[in-house]
């Protein structure tokens, strides 16, 4: 089981899990799912999002 997660400064967590190896497609799918989730929040708050990647 692999889990990719996005954690906000206010401790809101979004995660995407996969039972297969993490590939570029897995990461893209996780980002796509996050964007779909965040789009609704953005419509309400108009607060932009910045994603920082760390290896």
pLDDT of the chain, 55 residues: tens digit per residue = 999 999 888 898 999 998 999 999 999 999 999 999 889 888 888 989 888 888 7
Asked whether the beta carbons of 30 and 16 are under 8 A apart, the reply is: yes
Give pLDDT, residue 28: 94
The domain spans of the chain are: 2-45
Give pLDDT, residue 10: 85
Name the phi and psi angles at 20, rounded to 5.
Answer: -105, 175
Tokens 């993490």 correspond to what residue? 22
Give pLDDT, residue 33: 92
Give pLDDT, residue 35: 92
Distance CA(39)–CA(41), nearest Å, equals: 5
Give pLDDT, residue 14: 93
Asked whether the beta carbons of 16 and 1 are under 8 A apart, the reply is: no
The tokens of 25 are what? 């497609």
């Amino acid at each position: 089981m692999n889990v990719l997660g996005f954690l906000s400064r206010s401790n809101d967590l979004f995660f995407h899990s996969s039972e297969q190896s993490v590939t570029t497609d897995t990461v893209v799918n996780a980002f796509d799912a996050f964007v779909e989730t965040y789009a609704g929040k953005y419509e309400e708050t108009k607060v932009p999002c910045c994603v920082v990647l760390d290896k």
